[in-house]
Chains A and B, each alone.
Chain A
Amino acid sequence: MLERAEKFIRFFGTAVACVLIPAQILTSLAYLTGRRIIQFSTTPLQELEWHLFFALVFLSFGAVLLADRHVRIDVFRDRMSPKTRSYIEIIGFVIALVPFSLALIYFGSALSWRAFQVGEGSRAALGLPYRWIIKAMMPLGGLFLLFAGMIITKRNINFILETRRTKAS
C-alpha cells in the first residue's frame, strides 16, 4: 500500500513539475504579448499565472520530502549516528510534520469550502471564477505531504527495529 503511494507521489510530483512550470512560462509570455502587442483582455491570463504558481508550490511539498531535498541545517547532523537521525525524523514527523499537514488539510479545506459556498470568484470583472479550486490545492498538498511523511517514518521505524534485531542476535 505504502509502496504504491510512494510511487504515485513521485510520479505525481514529476508530472506537476513538467506540466505547471512550462504552463506558467507560456501563460506569462502569452499575457505579455497579449497586453503589449495585440491588446486583448488579459485578466484571466494574469490570474492563471499565479494559479499555476500556487498549485506548483503546494503540490510539490510531498515529492520534495520523498526526495529528501527540503533544506536542513546539517552542521551537527553530519556527526550524528544513523540511528539518532532516524529518531529525529520520527519525532519531527509527530510534532512538526503531522500538525503542519493537518493544518493545511483542515484549514485549507475550510477556506476552500467557504469559497465554494459563497461562489467566490475573482474581484476583477473578467477574472477567473471558482476560487475554491485553487484554494483546494492547500489541503491536497497537505494530504500528499502527510502520506510522504508516513512513508519516510515507516522506513525509519523499520531501520531502528532492524538495528535492534541485529544487536540482539
Chain B
Amino acid sequence: MIDLLPLFMIITLMLFLFSGYPVGFVLVGVTSLFSMIAIFADLMSVAKLQLFALRSYSMLAESLVFSAVVPLILMGVILARSGQIESFMSVISRAFRWLPGSLPITVLVVGILIAPSAGLIGAAVGTLTIATLPALLKQGYSPKVATSAVAAAGTLGIILPPAVMLFFLADLTELPIIETFTGVLYPAALIFGLYAVYFMINAKAVPADQIVYPVSESIAVSIVKVTGPIVVVGSVLVSIASGWVTPTQSGSIGAFAAFLLMVATRPVSLNLLKEICVETATIVAMVFLIIIAANAFTLVFRVLDGDQMVENFLIAMNLGAWGTLIFVLFVVFVLGFIIDWLEIVVISLPIFMPILVELDFSAHVGDPLLVKVWFATLFALVLQTSFVTPPFGFALFFLRGSAPPEVTMSDIYRGAVPIVFLQLIVLSLVLAVPWLATSIASSIN
C-alpha cells in the first residue's frame, strides 16, 4: 500500500484539479496532505519540509531564464493593449486583398507576433480571438474557416520563439535556450506553409466592397504600422541569437521597443500604463505560483519514490525506446485536453525526463544534446496539437469563450479538424526525420 502512495498522490491531484480551485493551491494542498501522511508513516522527516522554501528560493533567485518571463509578458501585454494588432491587420489585409485567403494568413502572422509573449495558451487564444475573429467574420469568411485561422494562429504562436513555453521547456530539459529555440523553427515553418496553402485553397479572395477597414492614411503611416510589431518581436530574437545578451536583457529590449512603439503611435495615459503593469504582474504571479507549487509537489513525489514507481512501470511495460517515447508523448497529449501547457510541463517533465534521457536514440538522432532538442521539439508539437483536438482541446474552449455568440461550438470543431490533421503530418515528420529539429542546433555546436 505504502509503495502506491505516489500513485494515490497523482490520482488525488487529478480529482482535486477538477474542483475548480486554483491549480497552484490544489498542488500545494495535495502536497501538504501527502507530506503529513509520509511523516506519520515515517517515510519522510519533518526537516525535509524546510527544503520547500530553500528550493523555491534557489529555483527563482539567480535564474537567468525565469526573470526573462517578466519583460516578455510585458511586451505581449503592451502589443495587445495598445491596438497594434488591429492596425497591423488593417494594413496587411488591405494590401493583399487580391490574394485568396489573405486575411487568415494575416491572422497567422499576427499569431506568430503576439502569441509567443502572451504566456498561457488561454491568454494567447483569447487575445487573438478578440482582435481578429470579428474582422474575419465581417469579411465574409465562414465561421468554420475563421475559427480555424484563429486556432491555427494561436497554437502556432505558442511554440514559436521567443515563446514563454520554450523557456520552461529549456529549463526542464536542461537545454540552452538558443538550442531550444532552433528546434521548433523548421517544423513551425512547415506548419505555417501547410496552413497557408490550406487557407489559399479554402478561402476566396475578398471582393473590394467588403473591405472592412477604411483607407485614410498615408503609405508612410501604414509602413510604420506593419513594421512596428515585426521590429519589436524581431529585436528580441535577433538580440538573443547574437549571443551578446542574456534572455532577460533581450526581453527587456523587446519590452522597451514595444513601449516606444506605443508612445509613438497613440496617446498614452497614466491609467493605461498602470493597467499594463498590473496585467503583467498578474500573469507573472499566476505562472510562478504554479511553478513554485509544482516544485513542492515533485519534491514530495520524489521523496515518496514516485519517480522510481513511474520508471518501474515503464520498464515493466517493456515498450522499448520508441514505445516509451510514444507512450510519454501520448500522456502529454491527453493531459493537454484538460490543462494548460504550464501545468503539464512542470508536473510531467520532471517525472518523465529522467526516463527519456536514458533511452537510446543516438543512432536515430545523434549526440545527447541533439536528442534533448528533439524531445523538446516533440513536446512542443504534441502540446500544440492537443490544445486544438476536438472535442476537448483546451484552446477551443477559450476560442468559444471569446467569440461572438453566432459562432457555435460545432463550427469551431469543424474548423479545428484540418488544423489537427496538418499538425499531425508535421509531428510524424519530425518523429521520422529528427534532422528537422536538430539541424540548426548541430550546426551551431
By a beta-carbon cutoff of 8 Å, the part of chain A in contact with chain B is: 13-14, 16-18, 20-22, 24-25, 28-29, 31-32, 36, 47, 49-50, 53-54, 56-57, 60-61, 63-65, 67, 69-77, 80, 85, 88-89, 92, 95-97, 99-100, 103-104, 107-108, 110-111, 134-135, 138
Q: Which residues of A contact B343 (CB under 8 A)?
A: 71
Select B280's contact among A17, A72, A80, A138, beta carbons within 8 Å.
Answer: A17
Q: Which residues of B contact A20 (CB under 8 A)?
A: 281
Q: Which residues of B contact A32 (CB under 8 A)?
A: 245, 249, 252-253
Q: Which of B60-68, B82-90, B194-202 contacts A (4 or more CB under 8 A)?
A: B60-68
Shortest Cβ gap from A60 to chain B (Å): 4
Q: Which residues of A contact B24 (CB under 8 A)?
A: 70-71
The answer on a CB contact under 8 Å between B19 and A28 is no
Shortest Cβ gap from A4 to chain B (Å): 21
Shortest Cβ gap from A67 to chain B (Å): 7
The answer on a CB contact under 8 Å between B288 and A57 is yes
Majority secondary structure of chain B interface residues (helix, strand, loop or mixed): helix
Beyond A13-B281, A64-B285, A111-B54, 13 additional pairs, beta carbon < 8 A = A17-B280, A18-B273, A50-B61, A50-B62, A61-B285, A64-B289, A71-B22, A76-B19, A76-B20, A107-B52, A108-B53, A110-B50, A138-B53
Q: Which residues of B contact A96 (CB under 8 A)?
A: 21, 25-26, 28-30, 32
Asked whether any CB of chain A lies closer than 8 Å to the CB of B96, the reply is: no
Report how far A73 CA is from B120 CA in the complex, Å: 13
Shortest Cβ gap from A38 to chain B (Å): 15
Interface size bucket, B side? Answer: 35 or more
By a beta-carbon cutoff of 8 Å, the part of chain B in contact with chain A is: 17-26, 28-30, 32-33, 49-50, 52-54, 56-57, 60-63, 66-67, 70-71, 74, 120, 122, 244-245, 248-249, 251-253, 255-256, 273-274, 277-278, 280-282, 284-286, 288-290, 293, 338-340, 342-343, 397
Q: Which residues of A contact B60 (CB under 8 A)?
A: 50, 53-54, 57
> With contacts A54-B61, A100-B293 known, is A73 near B23, CB below 8 A?
yes
The answer on a CB contact under 8 Å between B20 and A72 is yes
Select A60's contact among B29, B32, B285, beta carbons within 8 Å.
Answer: B285
Shortest Cβ gap from B172 to chain A (Å): 18
Report how far A74 CA is from B22 CA in the complex, Å: 9
The answer on a CB contact under 8 Å between B57 and A56 is no
> With contacts A21-B70, A71-B290, A92-B29 known, is A50 near B282, CB below 8 A?
no
The answer on a CB contact under 8 Å between B278 and A17 is yes
Q: Which 6 A-B pairs have the closest CB atoms?
A: A96-B29, A77-B20, A107-B53, A17-B281, A28-B252, A60-B285
Q: Which residues of B contact A95 (CB under 8 A)?
A: 29, 32-33
The answer on a CB contact under 8 Å between B20 and A88 is yes
Q: Which residues of B contact A47 (CB under 8 A)?
A: 62
Residue ID in chain A nearest B35 by CB atoms: A99
The answer on a CB contact under 8 Å between A25 and B281 is no
> With contacts A28-B71, A54-B60 known, is A72 near B21, CB below 8 A?
yes
The answer on a CB contact under 8 Å between B18 and A76 is yes
Select A138's contact among B56, B244, B253, B281, beta carbons within 8 Å.
Answer: B56
The answer on a CB contact under 8 Å between B277 and A18 is yes
Could you name 28 residue pairs across A and B whose Cβ atoms are closer than 8 Å? Answer: A14-B278, A17-B281, A18-B273, A22-B277, A25-B74, A50-B60, A50-B62, A56-B284, A57-B60, A57-B284, A60-B284, A60-B285, A63-B281, A64-B289, A71-B120, A71-B343, A72-B20, A92-B22, A92-B29, A96-B29, A99-B29, A103-B28, A104-B53, A110-B50, A110-B53, A111-B54, A111-B57, A138-B53
Select B274's contact among A14, A49, A60, beta carbons within 8 Å.
Answer: A14
> With contacts A57-B284, A60-B282, A72-B22 known, is A103 near B32, CB below 8 A?
yes
Shortest Cβ gap from B137 to chain A (Å): 25
The answer on a CB contact under 8 Å between A53 and B70 is yes
